[in-house]
Amino acid sequence: MPTPKKGPRLASSPAHERLMLANMATSLFEHGRITTTLPKAKRLRPLAERLITFAKRGDLHSRRRVMRVIRNKSVVHKLFTEIAEQMEQREGGYTRIVKIAPRRGDAAPAAIIELVTEPVSPKKAVVKEAEAATKVAANEEAPVEAPAETETNEAENAE
């Protein structure tokens, strides 16, 4: 068997790695947080976030794409009803990885990967809206002030 070109795998083959990640994603959505090794958590994060993005869309095609990875229908239902509803206001960053002490048996670097359930702070959204409104107001006032300044300058030049 030729060696993989894209770097080392988490398991012996790409198929085994896909199955491991699918099982970890299922457990993550079922329990809300799982403890695993740091490399596995880092490989799981993009997959889990992509599945949550599909769940936020909520259509039949997205549900079928998620069902390709997560085979447990009750977990898929929970993902589409509860988790997608919690993540509705969030624009990415659905998971959090927290490093913990190394594992006892083999001293492998361990981590907790969990779903971010805190609501998005409305303060940031209000600040963005205020900045946008200020920018729009500045653009609207700038052309109005420009002719007034030229009239003032013309009056001073005439004197």
Tens digit of pLDDT for each residue in 87-105? 998 888 999 999 999 999 9
The total number of structural domains in the chain stands at: 1
Residue 20 lies in a domain: yes
Domain of residue 94: give its range.
14-117
Percent of the chain's residues with pLDDT above 70: 82
Minimal CA–CA distance to 58: which of 22, 20, 98, 87?
Answer: 87
Q: Which residue has the higher pLDDT, 91 or 144?
A: 91
Considering the domain boundaries, does residue 113 fall inside one? yes
More confident residue, 139 or 28: 28
CATH code at position 52: 3.90.1030.10
In a domain, 18, yes or no: yes
Instruction: Give the C-alpha distances (Å, rounded to integers) separating 146 from 111, 142, 155.
Output: 59, 6, 15
| pLDDT for 11 | 80
Give the rounded distance of the alpha carbon of 64 from its chain centre.
Answer: 21
13 pLDDT exceeds 60?
A: yes
pLDDT > 70? residue 125: no
Residue 158 falls within a domain, yes or no?
Answer: no
Per the domain annotation, does 155 fall within a domain? Answer: no
pTM of the model: 0.72
Residue of higher predicted confidence among 144 and 157: 157
Rounded distance between C-alpha atoms, residue 54 and residue 143, angstroms: 45
The burial class, CB within 10 Å (0-12 / 13-18 / 19+), for 155 is exposed
